[in-house]
Amino acid sequence: MEFKIENIAIDSRIPEGPVAEKWTNYKAHQKLVNPANKRKLDIIVVGTGLAGASAASTLAEMGFNVLNFCIQDSPRRAHSIAAQGGINAAKNYQNDGDSVYRLFYDTVKGGDYRAREANVYRLAEVSNNIIDQCVAQGVPFAREYGGLLANRSFGGAQVSRTFYAKGQTGQQLLLGAYSSLNRQIELGKVKSYNRYEMHDIVMVDGRARGIIAKNLVTGEFEPFAAHAVVIATGGYGNAYFLSTNAMACNCSAAVACYRKGAYFANPAYVQIHPTCIPRHGDKQSKLTLMSESLRNDGRIWVPKKLEDAKALQAGTKLGSDIPEEDRDYYLERRYPAFGNLVPRDVASRAAKERCDKGYGVNNTGQAVFLDFSEAINRLGIDMVRQRYGNLFDMYEEITNVNPGELANTINGEKYYNPMMIYPAIHYTMGGIWVDYELQTSVKGLFAIGECNFSDHGANRLGASALMQGLADGYFVLPFTIQNYLSDQISVPRFSVELPEFKEALAKCKKEQHDLMAIKGKRSVDSIHKELGNIMWEHVGMGRTQEGLMQALDKIKALRKEFETNLFVPGTEEGMNVELDKAFRLRDFITMGELVAYDAINRNESCGGHFREEYQTEEGEAKRDDENYFYVSCWKYAGKDTEVPSFIKEPLKYEAIKVQTRNYKS
C-alpha cells in the first residue's frame, strides 16, 4: 500500500549541545513570563490524571489562570489511579550502579531505539526531582527497615530503581497531585470542571484558543477560551475494546487535535502487557492488570511436556501438580541475563509463542503461570504478602484462587497456587506529535503524558508511565509553555462569542444530532466489540501485511455499519451515556485505521510493533534502521474516510549507539 509522503521539514526544536546539557541550556535561555503578566494569561488543561493534575496545579502555583477539565466525577478517579507497580527514578539508593545515563540508556534500549534521544534524557534527568516532590507531598512510598526509601526492579533494567507504595503506587501519587490541585482550586487559581468531555479544539488565527466541551450531566455543549490548550487525556488502548484501561478512557480529545492539524505520531506502537488476568469469556468489558512488580519474585513457566499442558487445559491437572523438573521457565531459559524481568514486549511475545505451540495452561490455551512457590519457600509468606498482598487479594477476588495458599507437596518440596496470566493491550507509546517543548504541530496546543508520543519509542519500560506523566506536568511543561506564552501577554482574553467558537459549537451539535438520527439496530458496544476483535486479531501482538490489509477493509466496512445501523437510545438532552460512547466509538474507528496504516507502512519489527515477516531465526524483532529510523507522523486529510498523508521526522542519536537489543547476556 502506497502512502502520500509530504516533504515537510519538521522542527522538533531540540536545543544544541551535548545531550546531557540540552535541558540545562534550554532553561538558561528560555523566555519567561513575569508574575504580574502570568495573571493575564489563561491556560486550559484537559485531563486530571497524573500529567493533567500535576500540570494544572503547577501552572496555577506559578500564577497562571487554569481551567481544568475532568471526564470523571472527581480527579481522584483518573485512570492513573490504576497503576500498581511503581515509578522509576535514578536515585541509586541501592548503590547498584544506577545513574541518570543508565536510566536514559535503558529507556532508549527498551523502546527499541525508536524514541527521541533528547526527550528521553530530559525525562531521566528530572526523574529524581519527582521523588523529592512526592515525598514532600506525603506520598507513602515503601521504606527499608532503617527508614530509607525502598526500591525494586522492573523489566528492562538490571538495577533496582522503582519506588513503590505496595501495589497502589498510582493511587498514592494521584492523591499527592490531587491535593496540590485542590489547594489551587481553593485559592481560586484553578477552575475545575468535573464531568466534562472535550469535543473540539477552537482555532483563532491559526492558534488553539479554546475548546468545546460537553457537560455530561446536562448534555449541553459549552465553549471555553484561553491563550493556550494542554491535552493530557491518556492513550488509545480502548480501540481494542478489551484492554487494561478504564472503560471511560478514550482517544477523542487526541483525535479532535488530529482533525485540527496536529500530527499523530507512531500510532502502530501499542504495548501488550505480559501480566494480565486472562480473558474468561465474551461478556467481559475490560481486562485486569497484575502488576509487573510481581515478576521480581514470581517465576513464569509452562509445562515442558505437551501432555501436561493438555491435562491442564482439560482441568485434570493443576499447576501445583507439576514438579519442578517438568516446568519450563522459558524467560529464564531464553534470556538468562534478565530472566523474568525482560521488557514487556519481549515477555509478551514469548508467552504468545509458548501458547501458540500448545503449551498454554488454562481451558482456552491462552495463559501461562506466574508462580511464587520459590519466593515463598525462600522468604516466607509474610514477607511475600508484605510486598504484594493487595495484588494477591485482587487476584483471589477475581479468580477465587489464592496465590499464597499451599496447594501440594512433592518430594518434600512445597508448591503454592500459581497465578495465570496472559498478555493484553495496556499502554500506547504512539500519540500526538510534540516537539521538545511538548507543543504539537498546532500553535498553542500542547500534549503531555501518555497522549503524546515523545519518550518511550516502540515499547515502554515498566514504571515509566508515572514517571513521564509527572515529569511533563511538574518539571517540563511549566518551563516550556512560557516560551510560547511570553509573546502572548499583550493578547487580550478571547470571547466565546467569536465566530470561531460559534462555528465549532454548531458543528458539535450537528454531529450529535446526526448520531441520534441514524436509528439503526446495533448498540454501541456491539460495534465496539467487533472493532476490538478486528484490532486484536490483525493489529495485535503479531501483524502481517495480509492481515493488516484485511483489518483495513473490515474497519472501513464497520465504519459504514456505524454510520448506517447504529442505535443510540434516549435523547440529546440530559445525561446519555450511550450517546457519549457513540462519539468515542466514532473516534476509535478512526484511530484503528491510523494504527493499521502505520503498521502497514513500517516494514520492520520493533518493540510493540511485531511484523511476523520481519523476525530473526530465534523469533526476535528484526529492525530495519536503514529505512525506518524515523518518527512516523500522520497528517489528517480533511475527512475520516480519506487516507492521511505521511511525514518523517528523522531520528538522530548522539550519545547512544544504535544496536540490536540483547537481554541474553
Angstrom distances, CA of residue 561 to CA of 236, 319, 518, 528, 567: 21, 44, 10, 11, 11
116, 651 contact by CB (below 8 A): yes
- pLDDT for residue 284: 87
| 3-state DSSP percent of the chain in helix, strand and coil, to 5 | 40, 20, 40
The ranges of the chain with pLDDT < 50 are none
Torsion sign across C-alpha atoms 288, 385, 103, 339: negative
> Cα(282)–Cα(322) distance, rounded to whole angstroms?
30
Characterize the bridge pairing of strands 270-276 and 413-416: unpaired
What's the number of CA atoms in the CB half-sphere (13 Å) around residue 483?
18
Integer-rounded Cα radius of gyration of the chain: 24
pLDDT single digits (tens) 69-118:
999 999 999 999 999 889 999 999 999 999 999 999 999 999 999 999 99
CA 62 to chain CA centroid, nearest Å? 28
- pLDDT for residue 166: 87
Give the angle subtended at the CA of 408 by the CAs of 405 and 412, to the nearest 5°: 120
Which 3 state secondary structure label does DSSP give 57? Answer: helix
46, 257 contact by CB (below 8 A): no
Q: Please tell me the pTM assigned to this model.
A: 0.97
Catalytic residue among 116, 334, 344, 385: 344
pLDDT single digits (tens) 143-167:
998 999 999 999 999 999 999 998 8
Quick one: which of 338, 353, 374 has its CA closest to 302? 353
Whether 344 is a known active-site residue: answer: yes
Quick one: which of 56, 66, 63 has its CA closest to 35? 63
Which 3 state secondary structure label does DSSP give 39? Answer: coil
